[in-house]
């Protein structure tokens, strides 16, 4: 009996020791977390071209500012940068500074007090002036008098046309919807995989920027397709464009599938292209591909002497940390980054995306680079007419609904353009009012 009691006491003692050891281990790990030094965490785009840019930037920054440590890394991969960043913010693992912020996403973050306004820091106006982006920022990135995003780049959405095929057919670069229909009558042959125009990508909501928004801006001279109160796309211009799209699909002038490099591979003569970042990989993968860059198509009645507007795929940098020390480090970094135009030349070299500056086509610092990159220079000509998306926190939901109510029913012949646009107007206005 005494032996059993002793054994029992021994087991309870062992159990208590185990629990105490585990608790101590947990405390030590927690303490290790607390004593880790605070450093600024900066997420950049996961694209290898952007990573190459930031590598060069931080090599210089670390040499010239060894006391101001910034830990930068590509953002975790996901279907979209916005989803990744939102998840990180929700779980408390978000960065202090992040790139890849577009206007609608910034609006969502601003409304929830996630972002820190840059205009509260000394030297804000001077920074805008130094980078020649005062009008760009003040026009498109303000929220209740504050500015929470410093735009990094602006990519105008443009069309690419296969120059060799157009020359063979003896046709000029198409400008209007009718020009494309005439071209299709000469060239189209879906049975042998030859289509005329690439009109859309995937159901992903951000592809509406390319396949609808750019064309609405083109047809209306840059008028918004919605604001935060109501939609405007159910008008003569929206209807004309979607009737054109309807014809393209009914007559099989456009493929229904998302085809990788459709224009470069010759599946289509032309169409909307994803952006100027395609220039470098196209040159490498399809060196013999001869193409021209043109603004989006316009209705037949569009005046010849009016400029054609397009969508500006533009994203920027935002500050998320509320820590004052980190804010100071970040502000020093941003002032250094944006005050030297040499950094934007590096950006051009590594990414072939246009920096968000008003003087890209006039500043001699960039003229050498653009002179050696004529395709990018074509995109730069569209910059003054490139308009960013409207500030709206429900951008993803609105554009998803637009795809489900307008694009797909028309592409698959389930609704007429008039019916589809009318249904979408009702549904999207409901979303905006909610």
Partner 1 sequence: MRKIIKVNRQLQKNIIGYIFSTPYFLFTIAIWLYPFIWGLIISFKRWNLISPTSTWVGLGNYLEVLQDPILWVIIRNSVYFMIVFVGLTTITSLGVALLINQIPKFKSFFVIGFLLSFVSSGVAYSVVFNILFASDGLINNILNIFGVKVGWFTNPSIAMASIALVVSWKFTGYYALFFLSGLNNIPKAIYEAARIDGANPWQSFFKITVPLLNPTFVMIIVFATITSFNLFAEPYMITGGGPMNATKTMMLEIYNRVFEFLQVGYGSTLAIVSAIITFIFVCIFKKLVERDVYV
Tokens of 20: 């105490």
Site string for partner 1, 46-85 (x = CB under 8 A): ---------------------------------xx-xx--
Return d(Cα 380, Cα 433) in angstroms, integer: 38
Give the one residue of 235, 349, 359, 408 binding partner 1; rule: CB under 8 A.
408
Q: How many CB atoms lie within 10 A of CB 41?
A: 18
Would you count residue 203 as binding partner 1 (CB under 8 A)?
A: yes
Residue 413 contacts partner 1 per CB under 8 A: no
**Of 123-131, 175-183, 198-206, 222-230, which part binds partner 1 (CB under 8 A)?**
198-206
Within 265-324, the residues that bind partner 1 by CB under 8 A are 265, 267
Nearer to partner 1, 36 or 77 (CB): 77
Q: What is the DSSP string of 94-109?
A: --SEEEEE-HHHHHHH
Q: Is 403 in the site for partner 1 (CB under 8 A)?
A: yes
Contact by Cβ (8 Å): 253, 195: yes
CA 346 from centre of chain: 20
Q: Does 390 bind partner 1 (CB under 8 A)?
A: no
Out of 397, 419, 427, 432, which residue is the one contacting partner 1 (CB under 8 A)? 397
Q: Which of residues 249-268 bind partner 1 (CB under 8 A)?
A: 255-257, 259, 265, 267
From 400, 419, 422, 432, residue interacting with partner 1 (rule: CB under 8 A): 400
- Dmax over CA atoms of the chain, in Å, equals 107
Q: Does 182 bind partner 1 (CB under 8 A)?
A: no
Nearest residue (CB) to partner 1, 54 versus 407: 407
What are phi and psi for residue 99, nearest 5 degrees? -95, -175
Q: How far is Cα 282 from Cα 278, in angstroms, rounded to an integer? A: 6
193 binds partner 1 (CB under 8 A): yes
Angle between helices 103-111 and 81-90 (to 10 degrees): 10
Nearer to partner 1, 289 or 369 (CB): 289
Closest approach of Cβ 28 to partner 1, in Å? 19
Whole-number Å distance between alpha carbons of 346 and 326: 26
φ and ψ at residue 72, rounded to 5 degrees = -110, 150
Residue 237: HSE in the Cβ half-sphere, 13 Å Cα cutoff: 19
Q: How many of the chain's residues bind partner 1 (CB under 8 A)? A: 43
Per CB under 8 A, 423 contacts partner 1: no
**Any bridge partners for residue 43, and if so which?**
73, 98
Beta carbon nearer to partner 1, 202 or 367: 202
404 binds partner 1 (CB under 8 A): yes
Q: How many angstroms separate the Cα of 168 from the Cα of each of 12, 163, 165, 186, 234?
A: 91, 8, 5, 11, 38
Q: Does residue 412 bind partner 1 (CB under 8 A)?
A: yes
Helix segments in 286-358, DSSP class H? 324-339, 341-351
18 binds partner 1 (CB under 8 A): yes
3-class secondary-structure state, position 418: helix
Tokens standing for residue 415: 């609704």
- Asked if residues 218 and 295 have their Cβ atoms less than 8 Å apart, the reply is yes
Instruction: Give the footprint of partner 1 on residues 101-130 (CB under 8 A).
Output: 108-109, 112, 114
Contact 254, 279 (CB under 8 A): no
Between residues 358 and 408, which has the closer beta carbon with respect to partner 1?
A: 408
**Candidate segments 197-205, 294-302, 303-311, 325-333, binder of partner 1 by CB under 8 A:** 197-205
Binding positions for partner 1, rule: CB under 8 A: 1, 4-5, 7-8, 11-12, 15, 18, 79-80, 82-83, 86-87, 89-90, 108-109, 112, 114, 193, 202-205, 255-257, 259, 265, 267, 394, 396-397, 400, 403-404, 408-409, 411-412, 414
């Amino acid at each position: 009996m005494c032996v059993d009691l002793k054994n029992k006491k021994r087991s309870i003692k062992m159990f208590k020791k185990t629990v105490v050891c585990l608790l101590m281990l947990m405390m030590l790990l927690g303490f290790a977390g607390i004593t880790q030094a605070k450093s600024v965490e900066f997420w950049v785009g996961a694209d290898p071209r952007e990573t190459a840019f930031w590598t060069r930037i931080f090599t210089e920054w670390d040499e010239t500012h060894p006391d101001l440590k910034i830990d930068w890394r590509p953002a975790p991969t996901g279907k979209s940068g916005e989803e990744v960043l939102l998840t990180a913010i929700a779980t408390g693992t978000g960065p202090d500074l992040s790139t890849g912020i577009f206007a609608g996403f910034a609006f969502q973050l601003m409304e929830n007090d996630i972002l820190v306004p840059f205009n509260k820091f000394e030297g804000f106006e001077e920074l805008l002036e130094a980078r020649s982006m005062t009008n760009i920022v003040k026009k498109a990135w303000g929220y209740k008098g504050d500015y929470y995003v410093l735009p990094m780049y602006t990519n105008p959405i443009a069309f690419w046309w296969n120059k060799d095929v157009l020359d063979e057919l003896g046709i000029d670069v198409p400008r209007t919807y009718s020009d494309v229909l005439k071209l299709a009558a000469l060239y189209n042959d879906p049975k042998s995989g030859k289509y005329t125009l690439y009109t859309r990508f995937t159901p992903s909501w951000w592809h509406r920027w390319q396949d609808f928004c750019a064309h609405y801006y083109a047809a209306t001279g840059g008028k918004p397709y919605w604001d935060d109160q109501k939609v405007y796309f159910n008008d003569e211009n929206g209807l004309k464009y979607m009737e054109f799209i309807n014809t393209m699909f009914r007559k099989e002038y456009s493929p229904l599938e998302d085809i990788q490099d459709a224009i470069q591979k010759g599946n289509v003569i032309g169409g909307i292209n994803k952006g100027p970042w395609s220039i470098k990989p196209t040159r490498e993968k399809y060196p013999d591909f001869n193409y021209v860059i043109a603004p989006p198509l316009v209705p037949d009645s569009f005046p010849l002497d009016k400029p054609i507007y397009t969508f500006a795929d533009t994203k920027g940098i935002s500050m998320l940390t509320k820590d004052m020390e980190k804010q100071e480090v970040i502000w020093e970094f941003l002032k250094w980054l944006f005050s030297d135009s040499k950094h934007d030349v590096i950006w051009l070299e590594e990414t072939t995306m246009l920096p968000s500056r008003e003087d890209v086509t006039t500043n001699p610092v960039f003229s050498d680079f653009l002179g050696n990159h004529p395709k990018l220079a074509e995109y730069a000509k569209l910059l003054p007419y490139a308009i960013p998306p409207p500030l709206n926190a429900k951008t993803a939901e609105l554009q998803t609904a637009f795809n489900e109510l307008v694009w797909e029913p028309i592409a698959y012949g389930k609704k007429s353009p008039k019916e589809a646009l009318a249904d979408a107007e009702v549904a999207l206005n409901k979303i905006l009012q909610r």
